[in-house]
């Protein structure tokens, strides 16, 4: 498959993945809203002009031109002021923001037809409103779990394994990279002297069962200068060999196996691992999703500085942070380049590429979950925060035997919502420009 075709496939997968993730997010709001009897007038994927729509029952389903989100429209999102008749617009609200709030409240009231007051969103109990507003982010979190489970546990990720791909013929200095540098006077490598061959799979080393290359490598490095038993599987049969790793100077590594830049005297056997797709247990998926949630939350908490970094890269000479925020164009570009990268496991190239793209889409859904949980309007977290505050007030009033304080006036937060929306538009434009002029690149 050509590089251009791989790039296009990656971009298409990202585009479809973004669209499906947004659509399912809105389904997470839609289903509980309909289940609780709220009238939903619109279900839309995207913003701006409508490209396609169809009415089913009381709900219009459609797709809009700008694929930067979606929404469902429920009647009665904002409660009237206590004692006000439906549709009341207070003349005393002379400030610009006050009029804005009152107008939004009036429009919300006009959507509630006579006889359907009980179907207004604000009339639901706090738990039901929480279920509706949390439904969207929850779907993204479930998608992240599902996509990572398929990527890691069904397809696998490339890892060094105890399957021997090559055996050195001699002991080489730490700076050597290939066995072709062996000279006549070089000592034979312990692995070759013990009879290890390419294709052997090491299953036991020095009396201990080994399951991954990290275990084998650590055991070899610790066994320098003494004879050990090495059990391999060769052509389906167990073969017992004896080898004496020699002490030699090798690159020092940390606890994760990454080079530290120095050298150390350790055991050397002279075998090279194979790279295979290794399936991870499902039990590892929750921790990985948790790590991604924490990472995205860190980006959100430092978003102003992150956007400054993006601006410096877009309008200056700084490099883009590959772990920083990206727009939809950047996500598509990264997906295309990710699909172009040569596979580490040539025999499972399709599975490896699919695993990469599914992992990327899982990260996208984690980002959708975290951003939508921000406790400000217009995010879902703003409505969640309002419902929780209402629950606290009503519980407090009940315990203190005071009158029910009624619904929390979420409409008062609309000026904040408009300000946040303006900032989101500015951020989207900045990321779009940066993704075009100085995109995040996976390779030079």
d(CA 174, CA 189): 13
- Any idea which residue has 């034979």 for tokens? 188
**207 alpha-carbon distance from chain centroid:** 40
Q: What is the DSSP letter of 79?
A: P
SS (H, E, C) 158-177: EEEEEEEEEECCECCCCCCC
232, containing H or E segment: strand 228-234
Q: What is the DSSP letter of 117?
A: G
Question: Quick check: 206 and 229 in contact, CB under 8 A?
Answer: yes
List C-alpha distances in Å: 413 to 63, 97, 316, 416. 28, 10, 37, 5
- Angle 56-61-65 from CA coordinates, rounded to 5°: 155
Q: List active site positions.
A: 26
Total count of residues recorded for the chain? 444
- Angle 440-260-255 from CA coordinates, rounded to 5°: 95
Closest CA to 266 of 215, 213, 224: 224
Closest CA to 19 of 74, 72, 53, 63: 63
Q: What is the DSSP letter of 7?
A: H
């Amino acid at each position: 498959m050509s590089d251009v075709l791989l790039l296009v496939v990656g971009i298409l997968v990202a585009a479809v993945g973004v669209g499906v993730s947004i659509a399912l997010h809105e389904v997470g709001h839609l289903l509980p809203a309909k289940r609780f009897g709220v009238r939903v007038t619109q279900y839309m994927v995207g913003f701006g002009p409508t490209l396609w729509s169809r009415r089913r029952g009381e709900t219009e389903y459609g797709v809009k031109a700008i694929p930067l989100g979606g929404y469902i429209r429920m009647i009665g999102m904002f409660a009237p002021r206590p004692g006000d008749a439906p549709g009341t617009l207070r003349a005393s609200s002379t400030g610009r923001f006050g009029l804005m709030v009152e107008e939004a409240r009036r429009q919300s009231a006009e959507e509630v037809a006579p006889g359907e007051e009980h179907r207004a969103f604000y009339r639901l109990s706090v738990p039901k409103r929480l279920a509706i507003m949390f439904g969207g982010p929850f779907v993204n979190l479930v998608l992240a779990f599902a996509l990572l489970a398929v990527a890691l546990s069904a397809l696998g990720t490339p890892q060094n394994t105890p399957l021997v791909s090559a055996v050195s013929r001699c002991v080489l200095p730490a700076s050597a990279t290939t066995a072709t540098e062996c000279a006549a006077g070089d000592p034979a490598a312990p692995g070759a002297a013990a009879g290890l061959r390419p294709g052997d799979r090491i299953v036991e080393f020095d009396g201990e069962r080994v399951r991954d290359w990290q275990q084998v490598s650590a055991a070899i490095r610790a066994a320098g200068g003494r004879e050990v038993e090495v059990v391999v599987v060769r052509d389906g049969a167990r073969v017992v060999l004896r080898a004496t790793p020699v002490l030699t100077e090798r690159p020092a590594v940390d606890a994760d196996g990454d080079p530290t830049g120095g050298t150390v005297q350790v055991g050397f056997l002279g075998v090279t691992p194979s790279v295979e797709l290794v399936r991870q247990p499902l039990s590892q998926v929750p921790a990985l999703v948790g790590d991604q949630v924490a990472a995205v939350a860190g980006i959100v908490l430092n978003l102003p500085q992150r956007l400054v970094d993006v601006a410096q890269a877009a309008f200056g000479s700084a490099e883009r942070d590959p772990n920083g925020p990206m727009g939809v164009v950047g996500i598509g570009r990264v997906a295309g380049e990710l699909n172009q990268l040569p596979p580490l496991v040539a025999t499972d190239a399709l599975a490896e590429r699919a695993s990469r793209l599914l992992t990327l889409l899982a990260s996208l859904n984690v980002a959708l979950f975290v951003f939508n949980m921000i406790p400000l309007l217009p995010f879902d977290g703003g409505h969640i925060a309002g419902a929780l505050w209402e629950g606290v007030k009503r519980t407090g009033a009940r315990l203190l035997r005071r009158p029910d304080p009624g619904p929390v006036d979420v409409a008062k937060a609309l000026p904040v919502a408009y300000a946040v929306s303006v900032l989101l538009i500015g951020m989207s434009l900045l990321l779009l420009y940066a993704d075009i002029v100085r995109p995040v690149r996976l390779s030079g």
